[in-house]
Structure 1
Amino acid sequence: MANKFDDFINLIFHTKLKYGIFTLIAILISGIIYFKDFGSSSNIDKSNNYSIESNQISSNSEITNNSVSHESLQSNVVYVDIKGQVKKPGVYKLSSTLRVDDAIRLAGGFTKDANRNNVNLAQKLTDQMVILVEDEDDSKVSSNSNVAGKSSDKININTADANQLTSISGIGDKKANKIIDYRNQNGLFSSLDDLKNVDGFGDKTVEKLKEYLFT
């Protein structure tokens, strides 16, 4: 009887031991799975956060680069006033890297009456720059303003022929012929101011020619 009781006790002990071991193993496995999932989730969150931060840094960098590029572009822009004997005079918005030669080309180029000798085509453009291309005959008058002209005496504009007119600084063959044509079509000049009605004679030119002509 005592032996049976001992066997019964041993059976209960071994059964509880087995269940205890199984329970412990189950707890350990559950713990391993939990911590593994938690670690993976943390890594994913960190990866997502890093990706978001990287995108933000990249976006900020692009914005900064675009701003710098825009400011650089604006700082390279200059406004140039092109006047005189060019085909399309006016104010032009240009790059400061260009030269006077480029500006004149953009303004249509020189007219046939332009004096190119007084223009520095190699000069770099600056903001608020004025490029004045003078008339070829106006330049002659200007450069010889202290000279009495090719003739020592004043010439009557109403009787002068082409040779006499071209002897005056500032009047070439073309302008001499224009004076004669105007005189033939409209009669004698009543005053030298009538020269302003002839193509190619502006106020500045007429004032200087008064030193050499009379009516």
Structure 2
Amino acid sequence: MKSHFQFSNQQRNGIFLLLALIVIIQCLYWFVPNLYINSKEELPENINEIEAFRNEIDSLRLVEIENKKPKIYPFNPNYITDYKGYSLGMSNEEIDRLHKFRSTNQWVNSAKDFQNVTKVSDSFLAKISPYFKFPEWVTNPKPKSRGYNNSYSKSSTSKSYNQKIDLNIATANQLRIVYGVGEKLSERIIKYRNKFSGGFISDIQLNEIYGLEQEVIERIKNDFTVKTPRSIQTYNLNTATRDQLVTIQYIDYEIANNIIEERTLRDGFSSIDDLRMVEDFPLKKFEIIKLYLHL
């Protein structure tokens, strides 16, 4: 026991230092909380600033929540899909009524038409109708000074080839004479024509222009036609190489290979219409593609 309580001077100093540290820590433990409380008593002077900062954070949080909510952009109600209708809040029955109406090749041309067809409530219509966006020729129709109407008859106003204006030299103002062709559509026609050196090849290219309905295209063709088609390279469908085929609009290497394989299996095509049997052939562009081919 004696050996446990005999210390050198250095050990005694260490023990005293340890005891001093314990006393200092105990003092800090008791006095520091009082200092913290005193500091809290000074906070009321900054309460207004803190409250303003908190309000700013809350407002930023609300803005962020609002930004994360689904947004509705202008849309044509004639093309509402099942998913679009569901996201807007339409019932399955209301969506089905619209699809059934459109399957008869009829169009919704106003918010009132939309409600009559779908039977949506007045409150729902008031919420979504501000986002309806109809074609320009519906929202801003031109006076029917030339006798055109929705039951347009080609035979009653048809013109001869000589009376028609060359589509490759027609101006935007001349195109706007056609009922259903406004400022934007006329500009699109000119822009599409200017994409190619020499302009249109055939009237069929009008189908390539976004926003042109078939009825409007028929009206354009009544007053305009391609009289000076641009010169293009045509290829014999039964002898054209893959590199030649891929120069044709809408034909890539995969489709060119499929054409050559089908041609080999058939021992040559007997008609250009046989291209419809080619795997992955872009059938919607068939009339454009056939302009570049012959047998």
- Shorter-chain TM band: 0.3 to 0.5
Q: TM-score, normalised by structure 2?
A: 0.30
Q: Which has the higher contact order (CA 8 A, sep 6+)?
A: 1
Query: In terms of Rg, which structure is larger?
Result: 1
Q: TM-score, normalised by structure 1?
A: 0.39
Higher strand proportion: 1
